[in-house]
Amino acid sequence: MSKKDLKKSQEEWNKKKYKKTVDRFGERKKEFKSDSDRPIKPLYTPLDIEDIDYEDKINYPGLFPFTRGVYPTMYRSKLWTMRQYAGFGNARETNERFRYLLEQGQTGLSVAFDLPTQIGYDSDHPLARGEVGKVGVAIDTLADMEVLFDQIPLDEVSTSMTINAPASVLLAMYMVVAEKQGVSSEELAGTIQNDILKEYIARGTYIFPPEPSLRIITDIFDYCSKEMPKFNTISISGYHIREAGSNAVQELAFTIADGIEYVQAAVDIGMDVDQFAPRLSFFFNAQMDFFEEIAKFRAARRLWAEIMEDRFGAEKDKSKMLRFHTQTAGSALTAQQPMNNIMRVTLQALSAVLGGTQSLHTNSYDEALGLPTEESVKIALRTQQVLAHESGAADTIDPMAGSYYVESLTDRFVKEAKEYIDKIDDLGGMAKAIESGYVQREIQESAYQVQKKIENNDKVVVGVNKFTEEEEKKADNLLKVDPEVENEQIKGLKNIKEKRNEKEVNDALEKVRKAAKNEENLMYPIIEAVKAYASIGEISNVLRDEFGEYEAQYI
Amino acid sequence: MDKKIKVLIAKPGLDGHDRGAKVIARGLKEAGMEVVYTGLRQTPEQIVRSAVQEDVDVIGLSILSGAHTHLFPEIMKRLEESDREDIKVIAGGIIPEGDHKELKELGIEAVFQPGTPISEIVEFIEKEVK
Amino acid sequence: MTNDIEKLYAEIQKGNENIIAQAISMVEDGTKNGLKLMKKIYKNVEPAYMVGISGPPGSGKSTLTQRIVQLWRKQNKKVGIIAIDPTSHFSGGALLGDRVRMNEISTDPNVFIRSMATRGSLGGLNSSIYDTVLIFSLAGFDYIIIETVGVGQNEIDIVKLADTTVFVTVPEAGDEIQAYKAGLMEVGDIFVVNKSDRPNSQQMVLTIEQLVSFKDEDKEWKPPVISTNALKNKGISDIKDWITKHHDYLLDNKLLKENRKQVIKAQMINLMEKTLNEKYIKPILEDEKFPEHIEQIYDKKKDPYSTVEELMPFD
């Protein structure tokens, strides 16, 4: 059928069928809007995608701009990595949970660190009180890291570490543990999050101001490109931006804009794009608007590929491929009727699979109530296994391609994200945009609007503002971190400090200071300091002295 | 001039998840209250001193890290030492149901779970402060 | 406690934080006891040195305030801070967020930070601010900082209270400076261009220097323009030194007295307006017959001039 005929027939359907029915019976809502507050049409047709050139904007899997996926075979060769984020208490307990998960068929590890570790405080720091081992595992020195990976072959698993401001310290510890296992750093696979910009925007575990923070990051890029070629040097994260309340378009745009800032920083110190870009990875959120989420993932790949080629002149395909991890949305979990969360997680996970994710964490249904139990973690993992082996979603590549709705959404996401990126460029790049408060304000506004919609019942959340129940069964067997963990951890640290060679530690820390002053790559002296059992707090304090600390500027 | 309800929204502990705190702060402002917000990583000492100097009617504590079992008793103790037990304390974030009883015994008036409408919190505060 | 004015007064003098805080609430809320307390304080207390700090949002005022306070603390000075944020016209509520940037001094026992919303009328606000200054002064504070956001007329009116007024701006705020230059030049004693690491910082310094050079030729005080970086702690001691110099200048030229008398005059005007409003205007507005006047004027039976003359027969 020609375009003209189609237009005519669509108008006719619209007038004779659709409008007529609406006039008679009305619709459920006055207006239908997507999660990112865009109007949704009643029907999408070939007319909505007529301007999208297949080879130019979509193309085959493994071919630029990678809209359909970064690999030519996708899940037909290898399923995504099922990677459940875990960590609590001390290294020994977390090691046990890791080994349990590997036995259950999980294929990669993901380490959650406690907040003192993430902010570069030792467990005996006054601000660490009450926080040790709470949201992740407590790591003070190499000794803890040795226990954490005890009996886990680091040449066989890939490990993701959610660590940002002190990323170099944890990366150094990981390498040294591997070395002790007889595994060389070239063989190590995994990811460090290492994404400081989103900490300023959304997650809050920053230490240093942006400038030295970016330098620490580019030091890692440089080091890994030489010594750890299989390790992902950063996981540029939209996840937390979304959790902080952004919508899907903002998540996409701000994450890509963060990526641009990192690439620019590395290019500015003289690195070759194709040398480090293949090891950049991304991390997105999977929220409830199923189709928008799929479109977001597909758009992310196209957008990044275009930017790497046009803006940075990348030549290797691998530099242009956006590979990403996905986690289902923590903020979509409800404390009310928590079992409903299992269904939410299933839908979110399916959107990530249909969006072509490389790895996936599915949340446990009880996480709005506290730390997940072993049982709830297992259900979350089983959810992924059902999707992988029973749903058929993994059996053909990018099955949503060609959907009039999804393709038009994908195209719109690219366009709208570009508008945001232009605005951020005008402000002088992401670091400046954060400093001006622009990004944080955009996110806060979205967060507030969503809250208002829920309160006005414009947005239904089952069990929260509709289909509510008076008496709900509360999850009562929640996992609790033993308060003794903190004391034990502090004792352990004291013990190590007594045993280690103090002079060796001080010399190593002085070398870290010197490198910080002289703009030498920090990774090398940090590895030496870690080997001498210098603690994360000691190393971070040297850097605090040299770099100062970041103070939030806006609310 | 009329008396306004004044609330301190504080984030004790190290977690940086301030979406809830900021949404509540804005919601209370739009309900006509004066809301003092002090930012991340507040120690019990900072929180209580801010509450005293600002002479607030209510302190709202938001925490997601699980450190409430350690930090809340410290805050309540300091309030008492400052002779301001009259300031009402409410809490929100991720606080397991099992801890609610203990927190209420400490003198925390209410613990709000994720998903609580702001209007409910506003109503609660207005009733308490009257 | 709050009923016993003598006791209140004594506790404030002792530096009792609870009582200082509650006394401020009393004057903010305009309670009867607050009024009684202020009557006593006015006759007994000399206001401490007042420094106004204002500038557009995002210029880094609070961080700068914190840094200046830290320097004063090293000289063992006690500092009170009044941080003012606007009240929402729609809801009457306010978000008071200045403390976020003052965490380093928030537990210093010799620093007292009080956030304040502008609430209704500006005149009323000015008197609560000045009352708070006096309460702080009674409590023995050496310096009092009044911090406001913005560069509009309202903010200028507030900082006029201060003995020394510091205007903070950033390199990219050129348009705002142009728009408000008359007012700014009138009250600014010290100008600060913060975030000096940004491009165009030097340009901004020159722009302000040029504007300042046109300032009242009769006055001996030529406002300095200081380049700072609050985050990196650069240029802060210059501001502190210039505040001292300006203080000396006011003393040497007997201008401090003049300024204080101006403030008293402004307070008087505020109070008279407030009294007029409450004692005369409000009862008329609340009178059930008031809408009738409007109807009659609308129906051309009366005119507003004669109606007001009739309602408020001053002569």
**CB of B124 closer than 8 Å to CB of B110:** yes
Whether C58 and A553 lie within 8 Å, measured CB to CB: yes
Domain for residue C89, yes or no? yes
Q: Are residues C59 and C79 in the same domain?
A: yes
Q: Which of C237, C208, C207 is nearest to C223 (CA)?
A: C208
The alpha-carbon gap from A221 to the nearest alpha carbon of chain B, in Å, equals 26
Q: Which two tokens stand for residue A5?
A: 């005929």
**CB of B73 closer than 8 Å to CB of B67:** no
For A112, A143, C130, the CA distances from A91, given in Å and listed in that order, are: 11, 9, 57
Q: Quote the Cα angle for A169-A193-A296, to 5°.
A: 175
Q: Are residues C180 and C288 in the same domain?
A: no
**How far, in Å, CA of C278 to CA of C297, rounded?**
24
**CB of A445 closer than 8 Å to CB of B26:** no
The alpha-carbon gap from A203 to the nearest alpha carbon of chain B, in Å, equals 5
Whether B29 and C25 lie within 8 Å, measured CB to CB: no
What pLDDT shows up at residue A555? 55
Comparing CB atoms, the residue among B14, B117, B118 nearest residue A116 is B14
- Range from A78-87, A359-368, A376-385, A398-407 carrying the lowest mean pLDDT: A78-87
Comparing CB atoms, the residue among A436, A548, A552 nearest residue C100 is A552
Q: Are residues C87 and C201 in the same domain?
A: yes
Instruction: Report yes or no: A452 at the C interface, CB cutoff 8 Å.
Output: no
**CB of C208 closer than 8 Å to CB of C221:** no
Q: Which of C100, C104, C196, C201 to mutate to test the interface with A (most CBs of A within 10 A)?
A: C100
For A453, B56, B99, the CA distances from B111, given in Å and listed in that order, are: 23, 19, 10
Q: Are residues C224 and C92 in the same domain?
A: yes
Q: Give the torsion sign (CA, A534, A535, A538, A544).
A: positive
What pLDDT shows up at residue A554? 57
Q: Which of A398, A401, A397 is nearest to A409 (CA)?
A: A401
**How far, in Å, CA of C54 to CA of C64, rounded?**
11
Q: Are residues C13 and C36 in the same domain?
A: yes
Domain for residue C26, yes or no? yes
A 10 A CB-CB count for B53 gives 24
Taking contacts as CB-CB distances below 8 angstroms, the residues of chain C near A448 are none
CB-side neighbour CA atoms (13 Å) of C170: 18
Instruction: Name the 3-class secondary structure at A358.
Output: coil
For residue B33, which phi and psi values (nearest 5 degrees)? -95, 160
Q: Are residues C40 and C59 in the same domain?
A: no
Residue B87 lies in domain: 6-129
Comparing CB atoms, the residue among B2, B29, B53 nearest residue C17 is B53
Q: Which two tokens stand for residue A366?
A: 């009880």
Domain for residue B73, yes or no? yes
pLDDT reading at A54 higher than 60? yes
A 10 A CB-CB count for A306 gives 17
What pLDDT shows up at residue C233? 79
Whether C29 and B2 lie within 8 Å, measured CB to CB: yes
Q: Which of B17, B19, B7, B118 is nearest to B67 (CA)?
A: B17
Q: How many domains does chain B have?
A: 1
Instruction: Report yes or no: C171 at the A interface, CB cutoff 8 Å.
Output: no
**Residue A115 is inside which H or E element, if any?**
helix A115-118
**Greater model confidence, A387 or C89:** A387
Whether A552 and C63 lie within 8 Å, measured CB to CB: no
Domain for residue B86, yes or no? yes
Question: Distance of alpha carbon A472 from its chain centroid, rounded?
Answer: 32
Q: Are residues C135 and C165 in the same domain?
A: yes
Which residues have C-beta within 8 Å of that of residue A327, sequence separation ≥ 6? A85, A239, A283, A285, A286, A360, A361, A362, A363
What pLDDT shows up at residue A99? 93
What pLDDT shows up at residue B94? 87
Taking contacts as CB-CB distances below 8 angstroms, the residues of chain A near B69 are 130, 483
What pLDDT shows up at residue A435? 85
**ipTM field:** 0.95
Domain for residue C262, yes or no? no
Closest residue, chain C, to B28 (C-alpha)? C93
Q: Are residues C116 and C170 in the same domain?
A: yes
What pLDDT shows up at residue A21? 94
Comparing CB atoms, the residue among C18, C22, C94 nearest residue B29 is C94
Closest residue, chain B, to C20 (C-alpha)? B53
Domain for residue C116, yes or no? yes
**CB of A276 closer than 8 Å to CB of A259:** no
Give me the mean pLDDT over the A397-407 stretch. 98
Prior bond of B73 cis (ω within 30°) = no
What pLDDT shows up at residue C59? 84
Comparing CB atoms, the residue among A437, A548, A552 nearest residue C58 is A437
pLDDT in tens, C256-298: 999 899 889 988 988 888 888 888 899 999 999 999 999 999 9
Domain for residue B55, yes or no? yes
**CB of A242 closer than 8 Å to CB of A329:** yes
Spatial strand order of the sheet with A189-192 comes to A85-86, A108-112, A158-162, A189-192, A231-232
The alpha-carbon gap from B101 to the nearest alpha carbon of chain A, in Å, equals 13
Q: Which residue shows structure tokens 């003393």?
A: C251
Q: Which two tokens stand for residue A457?
A: 């019942």
Instruction: Report yes or no: C101 at the A interface, CB cutoff 8 Å.
Output: yes
What pLDDT shows up at residue A479? 60
Instruction: Name the 3-class secondary structure at A296.
Output: helix
Q: How big is the A-B interface in CB pairs under 8 Å?
A: 114
Comparing CB atoms, the residue among A115, A202, A455 nearest residue B65 is A115
Whether B53 and C114 lie within 8 Å, measured CB to CB: yes
A502 class by beta-carbon count within 10 Å (0-12 exposed, 13-18 middle, 19+ buried):
exposed
Domain for residue C22, yes or no? yes
Q: Are residues C277 and C240 in the same domain?
A: no
Whether C100 and B38 lie within 8 Å, measured CB to CB: yes
For A515, C261, C263, C265, the CA distances from C47, given in Å and listed in that order, are: 52, 12, 11, 15
What pLDDT shows up at residue C215? 63
- Range from A39-48, A202-211, B9-18, C197-206 carrying the lowest mean pLDDT: C197-206
Domain for residue B74, yes or no? yes
What pLDDT shows up at residue C94? 94
Closest residue, chain A, to C66 (C-alpha)? A551
The alpha-carbon gap from B39 to the nearest alpha carbon of chain C, in Å, equals 5
Whether A465 and B117 lie within 8 Å, measured CB to CB: yes
Beta bridge partners of A159: A109, A190
**How far, in Å, CA of A262 to CA of A448, rounded?**
29
The alpha-carbon gap from C33 to the nearest alpha carbon of chain B, in Å, equals 14
**How far, in Å, CA of B104 to CA of A278, rounded?**
53
User: Which band of pLDDT confidence, cut at 50, 70 and 90, is reported for residue A12?
Assistant: very high
pLDDT in tens, A95-144: 998 998 899 888 789 999 999 999 999 999 999 999 999 889 999 999 99
Domain for residue C197, yes or no? yes
Residues in chain C, pLDDT under 50 = none
**CB of A352 closer than 8 Å to CB of A326:** yes
Q: How many domains does chain C have?
A: 3
Q: Which of A284, A205, A201 is nearest to A239 (CA)?
A: A284
CATH number of the domain enclosing C71: 3.40.50.300
Helices A523-531 & A167-181 angle (0-180, nearest 10):
60
Domain for residue B95, yes or no? yes
Domain for residue B1, yes or no? no
Taking contacts as CB-CB distances below 8 angstroms, the residues of chain A near C63 are 551, 553
- Interface residues of C toward B, Cβ cutoff 8 Å, are 17-18, 20-22, 24-25, 28-30, 87-88, 90-97, 99-101, 103, 106-107, 112-115, 117, 119-120, 124, 128
**How far, in Å, CA of A324 to CA of A361, rounded?**
12
Q: Are residues C175 and C290 in the same domain?
A: no
Closest residue, chain A, to B26 (C-alpha)? A448
pLDDT in tens, A478-535: 566 777 899 999 999 999 999 999 999 999 999 999 999 998 999 999 999 999 999 9
Taking contacts as CB-CB distances below 8 angstroms, the residues of chain B near C20 are 53
DSSP string over A13-68? IIIIIIIHHHHHH--SSS--B-TTS-B--S---GGGGTT--IIIII-STTSTT-TT
- Range from A51-55, A175-179, A365-369, B52-56 carrying the lowest mean pLDDT: A365-369
Instruction: Report yes or no: C182 at the A interface, CB cutoff 8 Å.
Output: no
Comparing CB atoms, the residue among B19, B40, B65 nearest residue A134 is B65
Whether C58 and A548 lie within 8 Å, measured CB to CB: no
Residue C4 lies in domain: 1-44
Chains that touch C (3 or more CB pairs under 8 A): A, B
A 10 A CB-CB count for C286 gives 8
Comparing CB atoms, the residue among A335, A444, A476 nearest residue B115 is A335
**Residue A551 is inside which H or E element, if any?**
none
What pLDDT shows up at residue A265? 95
The alpha-carbon gap from A544 to the nearest alpha carbon of chain C, in Å, equals 13
Question: Distance of alpha carbon A163 from its chain centroid, rounded?
Answer: 11
Q: Which of C96, C195, C231, C232 to mutate to test the interface with A (most CBs of A within 10 A)?
A: C231
**Greater model confidence, C178 or A150:** A150
Q: Which of A88, A131, A132, A540 to mutate to test the interface with B (most CBs of B within 10 A)?
A: A131
Domain for residue B29, yes or no? yes
What pLDDT shows up at residue A478? 57
Q: Give the torsion sign (CA, A207, A211, A214, A218).
A: negative
Q: Which residue shows structure tokens 């401090």?
A: C256
Instruction: Report yes or no: A437 at the C interface, CB cutoff 8 Å.
Output: yes
Closest residue, chain C, to B10 (C-alpha)? C100
Comparing CB atoms, the residue among C93, C96, C106 nearest residue B30 is C93
Report which residue type is found at A398: D
What pLDDT shows up at residue C5? 94
For residue A289, which phi and psi values (nearest 5 degrees)? -80, 90
Measured in residues, chain A has a length of 555
Binding-face residues of C in 212-251 toward A, CB within 8 A: 231-232
Q: Which two tokens stand for residue A453?
A: 């919609």
Which residues have C-beta within 8 Å of that of residue C198, sequence separation ≥ 6? C170, C171, C172
Comparing CB atoms, the residue among B39, B98, B118 nearest residue A478 is B98
The alpha-carbon gap from C140 to the nearest alpha carbon of chain B, in Å, equals 16
Closest residue, chain C, to A547 (C-alpha)? C232
Whether A553 and C232 lie within 8 Å, measured CB to CB: no
Q: Are residues C215 and C307 in the same domain?
A: no
A 10 A CB-CB count for A330 gives 18
Look over chain A and give the mean of its residue pLDDT values, rounded to a whole number: 94
Phi-psi region of C269 (alpha: psi -120 to 50; beta: other; left: phi over 0): alpha
For C45, C53, C146, the CA distances from C158, given in Å and listed in that order, are: 21, 10, 8
What pLDDT shows up at residue A358? 96
Q: Are residues C100 and C153 in the same domain?
A: yes
Domain for residue C261, yes or no? no
**How far, in Å, CA of B130 to CA of C23, rounded?**
20
A 10 A CB-CB count for B128 gives 14
pLDDT in tens, A412-428: 999 999 999 999 999 99
CATH number of the domain enclosing B39: 3.40.50.280
